[in-house]
């Protein structure tokens, strides 16, 4: 009953699955939030083949009706949630297989709404639903997957690593995630809950593509570090591999 309980959204593959793996290896009972139970079982089988035991919960972050079932299950079984990793997200722009490139002047509005629905509105809504369980934890941790592409400072600075890497819908959604992190951390500042944004890096996933610089195992490290922060760890920050990033 004293074991930490974690939920990682979008965890059937890529960074989400690797985040779950590393949390399990750290002794955390981790649930993979998956849209398809069949795909979730395949993910569990991959982990089991490596001697890692996890669990799955059916969760489509764009379907708010699924939130209540997740809340009800975790509440009835544990009465708490120690770690929430808001990993699920989609891209739209200059990523392999991510759809047509666009800019702020001609972004299709349906695309903008779809990206924000998954990357921002759903993240906020799910966190709001599960926050009472996180409050019941002795040391709750909320990790929001953002991106260096959401850094306004770096996007505006000529010569920065991301100055010429602009995909408006995706970038703006991650900027919004960072704003939520700042606001929620402030509101929870008198509690033991810590809220931080994570930039995983450019990772060799389906989204990042084969030319990405980082392996998946390293791409999950920032989320895991923030999920396992001690009582003296930061809150309301934006990090990559232990180093702060500019908003």
Tell me the catalytic residues.
170
Q: Which of 166, 247, 152, 149 is nearest to 201 (CA)?
A: 149
Distance CA 134, CA 80 (A): 6
Backbone angles phi, psi at 42, to 5 degrees: -60, -40
- For the record, the structure tokens of 54 come out as 């996890």
- For the record, the structure tokens of 145 come out as 């997957």
Distance CA 211, CA 35 (A): 28
Distance CA 106, CA 102 (A): 7
Q: Strand, helix or coil at 105? A: coil
Between the alpha carbon of residue 14 and those of residues 18, 122, 205, 229, the distances in Å are 6, 20, 6, 22
């Amino acid at each position: 009953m004293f074991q930490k309980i974690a939920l990682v959204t979008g965890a059937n593959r890529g960074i989400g699955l690797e985040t779950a793996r590393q949390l399990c290896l750290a002794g955390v009972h981790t649930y993979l939030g998956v849209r398809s139970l069949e795909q979730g079982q395949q993910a569990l089988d991959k982990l089991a083949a490596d001697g890692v035991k996890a669990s799955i919960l059916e969760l489509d972050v764009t379907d708010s009706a699924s939130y209540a079932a997740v809340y009800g299950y975790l509440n009835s079984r544990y009465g708490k949630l120690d770690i929430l990793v808001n990993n699920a997200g989609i891209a739209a722009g200059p990523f392999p297989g991510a759809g047509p490139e666009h800019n702020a002047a001609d972004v299709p509005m349906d695309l903008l709404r779809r990206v924000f629905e998954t990357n921002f509105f759903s993240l906020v809504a799910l966190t709001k639903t599960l926050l009472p369980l996180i409050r019941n934890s002795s040391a709750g941790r909320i990790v929001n997957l953002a991106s260096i592409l959401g850094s306004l400072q770096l996007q505006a600075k000529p010569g920065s690593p991301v100055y010429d890497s602009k995909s408006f819908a995706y970038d703006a959604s991650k900027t919004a995630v960072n704003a939520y992190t700042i606001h929620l951390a402030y509101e929870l500042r008198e509690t033991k809950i810590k809220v931080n944004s994570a930039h995983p890096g450019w990772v060799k996933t389906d989204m990042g593509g084969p030319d990405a610089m980082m392996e998946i195992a390293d791409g999950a490290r920032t989320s895991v570090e923030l999920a396992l922060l001690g009582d003296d760890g930061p809150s309301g920050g934006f990090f990559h591999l232990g180093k702060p990033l500019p908003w």
